[in-house]
Chains A and B, each alone.
Chain A
Amino acid sequence: MCVRTNNIGIKKNQAAFNNRVNVCKNGCGIKVFIASNEFLNNFSLYSFTQLKHRRQKQERKMQGILSYLILLLITAFLAPVIINRAGKAASWLLGSVSVAGFFYLLRFAAATARGNTLSMTLEWLPQLHLNFTLYLDGLSLFFALLVTGMGAMVLVFAGKYMQPYPQKDRFFLLIFLFEFAMLALVLSGNLFTLFIFWELTSVSSFLLVGFSHEKPEARNAALQALLITVAGGLAMMAGFIMLGQIAGTLEINELLKSGELVRSHPHYSPALILILAGAFTKSAQFPFHFWLPGAMQAPSPVSAYLHSATMVKAGIYLLMRLSPVMGGTPEWKYILTITGAITMILGGYFAYSQTDFKKVLAYTTISALGILVLMLGIDTNISIKAAVIFMLVHALYKGALFMIAGLIDKSAGTRDLRKLGGLFHVMPEASVAAVISLLSMAGLPPMIGFIGKELIYEAKIGLPEIGNWLMVAGVLTNVIMVAISFALIFHLFGGKLRYAGRVPTRPAFALWIGPAILAGTSLLIGLFPSRVANLLLRPAITSIRPSIDTLSLALWHGFNEVLLMSLATIGAGITLYLLYRKVNPVLTNFNNEVITFRFANAFNRTMDLFLKLTKKKTSLIQSGYQRYYLMAIFIMTSVLAWYQIFYTWQGNGINTGPVPAIFELLIAALIVSAAVVAVAVKSRVLAILSMGAAGYGIGMLFLIYGAIDVAITMLLAETLVLVLFMVVVFHLPKFTNFSGRGSRIRDAVIAIFTGSFMTGLVLKAGQMDPAGRVSAFYTENALPLAHGKNVVNVILVDFRALDTLGEITVLVIAAIGVAALLKLKSKKGSAA
């Protein structure tokens, strides 16, 4: 285990020094590095014992985080039991696990705010650079707090919300599994660790979207979301591999230092595009955005947690993480800016024309994700600041609003905006929380949303070339946001009580407390932004762009261009809101009837086409007859092997070895004659027996040449195969028709070809130089390294144990395949 502590000073006047102390502790192999800019300045302050003490403290801290991750994983599997046994207290109990994590992680804020980064590495497969690395800096801490904090709110909410669901125990397992994966994702310090957890979030999202699996729409949406995000993830993995090849490392803290190298490499562009494919699919960017509205089939807690606050932000996190490594180039700027802008405006437009509360929220989420990508694409100091702050803003208001959507659904039985109104009278607390959150979404003071929006405007103004177009698109999107927020505030919560079907009931405390806390946070941070800015936001921004070392946020920026634009936005937004009742139905119709193209449908059609294609392909090349498969295998193998043998043949003759003894020749003769008999006889039993004789003969040869293990295995396998054949042969009909002359000649040719290639291979093996082969290493090291004298066994269970594990797994799959085939067939037989 290796714990690394990097202390990166952010103060420029101290940047002259970069010192590295490398201490190894013997025994358990723990290595600690301290690299510090401040190190020399402060050296006199530390006696060696103090330094050691500090190092051990850091190391314990990272192990604490690892323990918390393990605790989450254990909780995931205990959650079903807790839910079923602990009754009402269960969700509070589970929520407190998340709360504890939040406060535990918060204790690291002071350290990351000073510019410290902590990391620890567990070596996994070091030969492939695969390590399990945890890395904590301002950015990962910011996301980790988001994951645990939102997790707590959502868990408490879900405890009540999921009560009527029959499989709610499974729900809690999945949501904790997700929390574990998401937290591990943002804390990963190695791209492959990150990738594994990235995929785990996709899988848990798939299971959660399809949670109500009796509904076909839920199953479809789940599959669609999975296929898109996993396809993107696959591309991303290829991108990671390329990035690893370029930089020579997959560790994030080392990658961060090799930005120059990566950006100037000829493979930069393909690597970037592949990685962006992963980020864009995960974060629902155009043209992959359509899976997100579909994912609204999931229960509301899932939408609040995965599909607004955390999982869809994983793509954004990755972009932020890699921005110092890959960002700033024209490719980066153009792709991100254009994609982000399109997503932003498209999301806004569709949000405005929806009638389902949850769909409105889904499309505004898409729009917000577009804004985030756009900000990262603009890639100026101010836009990076805007991205981080808007991330917080959006998580706070959108998480709250999704939970309120669920709460309304629970209370009123519908989420249709046309049917509901005046909900303030039924749910005053939730309505206040919703109004505050909506004001934050509209970007009005004194909410944190206002500060976020002001920064976004400022970032767009600062742009020379395409700035004007972005400005127009940005203002338009915000006008729509204002209009939607006002429409929701006044139509849904204000006015007279309207409902459809049943009378809305007052929601339970557990349902509104989460949204209320989130809304309160939006308001509080808006009023007093400086503390959060210094503790969490500035460190996160510094991790993305080390040159930014100050961040001052305030509601009042003075009377300037940005404020003027904000005022104009609000004015236009109110106008659009006043038109909402008239425009919305028109737009809904327009969307439903005129725009017949649906991304989701197009995707489904493509999938259907693909399935048809594979079916055709399968029926073309899969005959279903074993003899043709065998022919294909034999022919292909021998052609390829012959090619290789001819190509590498050395002209120095054949090494036949020592002259064989008489009994060796006798065994060889026995093998040959047994083979001839097997081909010539007309009885199956005789053929099988003679094949067995040939096999035993070969086993004998192994025995003579000293490969005892191989010989024993060969004899045993031969015996069992013989038994197998005998068992089968009883069930076969008698030979009635023999193959014709043509096919016999064909088979003979194939057999000779295959047999001769084996002969060629053996002769070729005699030419090889036995020195310099890997076998010397095994023979010498079997006893000292692996405490075994039997080299064959040591290779199998120690040196190449991974291969063996793979092989026995394949064996098991084969066995299950055989069992399934036979069981399935006999079931069919009994039915018929």
Chain B
Amino acid sequence: MKSHIVRLAASKLLPFTLLLSAIVFYRGHNEPGGGFIGGLMAAAGFVFYALAFDTHEAEKKLRVSPLTLIIAGLSAAFISTLPALFAGNPFFTGEWVSVTLPLIGKIKAGTPLMFDLGVYFTVWGVMLTIIFNLMEE
């Protein structure tokens, strides 16, 4: 598609889509959202970009290849299952710590968050791999 309007829209919208997907990912634990939805949203942003320009441009914009996203995602999901072992709990047990940060206040971080982050990156990478490959055809 060579429409300038679409191109402009795609490139301006992309940061917002990513921001939105990050928010949706983060709020997922307590409100609707989560890694799967967030990953789909992030992928949708890049797919729109690829539709407006082409897949090479989109991959350039992404900086890393979708495969790297997949690897990062699966590794994060898998690694998040391990801390439980060191804490003496069965594999996959969620482990939580509360961290008090300046300005933001007290937040709870846990292995399920990291696991969800893994889901986020995997879904993002998988969708882009499939769609980019099909679009290149």
Contacts and interface: CB of A to CB of B under 8 A. Distances in A.
Interface of A: 1, 28-30, 122-126, 708-709, 712-713, 716-717, 719-720, 723-724, 727-728, 731, 786-790, 792-794, 796-798, 801-802, 804-805, 808-809, 811-812, 814-816, 818-819, 822-823, 826
Interface stretch (B5-13, B24-32, B56-64): B24-32
Contact of B34 (A122, A720, A797, A802): A797
13 contacts: A709-B34, A712-B33, A716-B40, A723-B131, A789-B29, A790-B33, A793-B33, A796-B116, A797-B34, A808-B74, A811-B122, A812-B74, A815-B126
Given A790-B28, A793-B116, A798-B115, 20 more contacts: A124-B91, A125-B91, A709-B32, A712-B37, A713-B40, A724-B131, A786-B94, A789-B31, A796-B35, A797-B115, A797-B119, A798-B94, A805-B115, A808-B74, A808-B77, A808-B122, A808-B123, A808-B126, A815-B125, A823-B133
Given A812-B126, A814-B126, A29 B133 contact: no
A1 B126 CA distance: 37
Contact of A796 (B30, B34, B81): B34
Contacts of B127: 720
A713 B125 contact: no
A801 B81 contact: yes
Contact of A790 (B31, B133, B135, B137): B31
Contact of A814 (B32, B91, B130): B130
Contacts of A790: 28-34
Contacts of B116: 793, 796-797
B22 interface: no
B112 interface: yes
A122 B93 CA distance: 13
Interface string B103-137: 00000101011011011001101110111011111
B85 interface: yes
Contacts of B119: 796-797, 804, 808
Nearest to A812: B70
A818 B136 CA distance: 12
B3 to A, nearest CB: 15
A727 B125 CA distance: 18
Given A709-B32, A798-B112, A819 B133 contact: yes
B51 interface: yes
B15 interface: no
B92 interface: yes
Interface residues of B, number: 54
B91 to A, nearest CB: 5
A805 B36 contact: no
B90 to A, nearest CB: 4
Contacts of B92: 801-802
Contacts of A708: 32
A164 B85 CA distance: 42
B101 interface: no
Nearest to B113: A797
A124 B32 contact: no
Contacts of B29: 787-790, 793-794
Contacts of B74: 808-809, 812
Contacts of B110: 787
Contacts of B33: 709, 712, 790, 793
Given A125-B90, A788-B30, A818 B37 contact: no
Contacts of A792: 32, 34
Contacts of A805: 77-78, 81, 115
Report which residue of A717, A728, A787 has the largest number of chain B beta carbons within 10 angstroms of its beta carbon: A787
Nearest to B117: A797
Contacts of B113: 797
A793 B117 CA distance: 12
B99 interface: no
Nearest to A786: B94
A810 to B, nearest CB: 10
B117 to A, nearest CB: 9
A815 B91 contact: no
A713 B40 CA distance: 8
Contacts of B37: 709, 712-713, 716
Contacts of A30: 88
B40 A717 contact: yes
B44 interface: yes
A815 B130 contact: yes
A790 B34 CA distance: 9
A596 B74 CA distance: 52
Contacts of A788: 29-30, 112
A776 B91 CA distance: 24
Nearest to B127: A720
Contacts of B70: 812, 815
Contacts of A716: 37, 40-41, 44
A794 B127 CA distance: 23
Contact of A787 (B87, B89, B96): B96
Contacts of B36: 713, 796
B112 A801 contact: yes
A797 B130 contact: no
Contacts of A717: 40
Nearest to B115: A797
A129 to B, nearest CB: 12
A29 B86 CA distance: 12
A723 B47 contact: yes
A720 B31 contact: no
A30 B123 CA distance: 38
B126 A811 contact: yes
Given A786-B94, A801-B115, A805-B78, A826 B30 contact: no
Nearest to A719: B44
A720 B43 contact: yes
A829 to B, nearest CB: 10
B30 A122 contact: no
Contacts of B122: 808, 811-812
Contact of B136 (A122, A709, A802, A822): A822
B59 to A, nearest CB: 13
A720 B47 contact: yes
Contacts of A814: 126, 130
A808 B126 CA distance: 9
Contacts of B73: 808
A815 B71 CA distance: 12
A790 to B, nearest CB: 6
Contacts of A793: 28-29, 33-34, 116
Contacts of B85: 122
A723 B51 contact: yes
B93 to A, nearest CB: 9
